[in-house]
A = this chain, B = another copy of it.
Amino acid sequence: MARRPSTATVGRPTIRDVARHADVSVGTVSRALNDRAGVHPDTRRRVRDAVSALGYAPDEAARELAIRRPVAVGLSVAHGHRRLTPFFVLFLEHLLDGLASSGLRVRDVPTGPDGLPTEETDAVVLLGAHPDDPRIAHLQALGRPFVLVGHRDGVRSVAADDVAGGRLAAEHLLRLGHRSLLHVTGDPHGQAFGDRHRGFREALAAALGEDRAAPVLVCDDLTTLGAYRALRRYLADAPAPTAIFAATDELAVGCLAAAADLGLRVPHELSVVGFDDLPEIGVGLTTIRQDFGALARVTIELLLEGLRGDPVRAVRLPVHLLARGTTAERG
């Protein structure tokens, strides 16, 4: 575009402005900002000061263009898997952001009816995979690096520590004196739901004995509406528990609505614990928080490791209990 080299700083500050301000070279600024080794601590500080003085923020497009690795990563979503769920939207948001600034090129790889990615990429992020997902074996056979979002031993994967989450929920509820519990979840054969259930069940068994297992209500529709209908149907001819552990915040919200319509006051007559800590969906909900940002960040790390041929590791991300307004002592 042959604009004349402008010396005037108009618009957004560039790395050059920072360099001038800190009286160093652009290379040094870049190194300092990217935490590269071999920058004098003092220099580093000067650069940092200049950055905040100028309100500088690196340009993503330029960054991407400069560091781009010659690889394409495909996003493979299980055939028929819903992409408009909060979990998905939130995770993807973080993932795409991170991928771009890692210089990785993303492509949405459609999966054929056989569940296999239909296009070639250098690496793949597998989403919504079931334990026996054919895509896994397929990619392994191909020797193409991939990261599974979800947990599976022996596979490069990352997921929240679902077992621990289930345990935390159980322990929280037990601590509050609840003994009559219900677990509302999705297909328990899936890894996430299975593990959450396992953690929950084991903590219960440890505290109350094997014979006091909590009943499980499986929803095939994982929306708030699905949970609502399932719970109302369930409570039509089953005694109401004093506490519910819902395997996702959405399910929890559905339970909350059902409770409201049944005249069960939360948390006094019914306590509810969710899972995820979704913004908007479950404000005020006691829940097990998982970190979407970390999930995306680790996914990218693993992707890079896979591309380098590093040894496989399966990462479990810690989760926390967020005690908010939907749980209380057994009434």
Is A225 in contact with chain B by the CB < 8 A criterion?
yes
* Chain B, residue nearest A109 (CB): B5
Q: Which of A16-24, A60-68, A170-178, A313-321 is found at the contact surface with chain B?
A: A60-68
Q: How far is the CA of A10 from the CA of B70 in the complex (A)?
A: 6
Write the chain B residue with the least CB distance to A103: B61
Query: How many chain-A residues does the 8 Å CB contact rule pick out?
Result: 56
- Determine which of B4, B82, B84, B92 lies in contact with A2 in the assembled complex, contact meaning CB atoms within 8 Å: B92
Cβ of A214 within 8 Å of any chain B Cβ, yes or no, is: no
In the bound assembly, the distance between CA atoms of A16 and B281 in angstroms comes to: 48
Could you say which of B1, B89, B92, B106 contacts A84, with CB atoms under 8 Å apart?
A: B89
Asked if A96 lies at the interface with its beta carbon under 8 angstroms from chain B, I say: yes
The number of times this chain is found in the oligomer is 2
Which chain B positions have C-beta within 8 A of A8? 72, 105, 107
B11, B65, B70, B253: the one contacting A62 at CB < 8 Å is B65
A7 at the interface (CB under 8 A from B): yes
Q: A187 contacts which chain B residues (CB < 8 A)?
A: none
Residue A301 CB within 8 A of the other chain: no
In the complex, whether A228 has a CB less than 8 A from a CB of chain B is yes
Say whether, besides A70-B11, A224-B224, A279-B84, A2 and B100 are in contact (CB < 8 Å): yes
Option from B84, B90, B108, B229 in Cβ contact (under 8 Å) with A281: B84
A83 within 8 A of B: yes
Any chain B CB within 8 A of the CB of A116?
no
Chain B residue contacts of A93, Cβ below 8 A:
1-2
**Inter-chain contact B72/A280, CB cutoff 8 Å:** no
> A110 vs B108: C-alpha distance in the bound complex, in angstroms?
30
A6 touches B281 (CB 8 A): no
Q: Are B75 and A5 in contact (CB under 8 A)?
A: yes
Inter-chain contacts of A225 with B (CB < 8 A) = 223-225, 228, 253-254, 257
Contact assessment for A82 and B280 in the assembled complex, using a CB-CB cutoff below 8 Å? yes
Q: Is A49 an interface residue (CB 8 A)?
A: no
A97 interface contact, C-beta 8 A: yes
Q: Kindly state the separation between the CA atoms of A210 and B228 in the bound complex, as whole angstroms.
A: 39
Q: Which of B10, B72, B122, B224 contacts A223 (CB 8 A)?
A: B224
Residues of A with Cβ closer than 8 Å to B?
1-12, 59-62, 64-68, 70-72, 75, 82-84, 86, 89-90, 92-97, 100, 105-108, 122, 223-225, 228-229, 253-254, 257, 261, 278-281
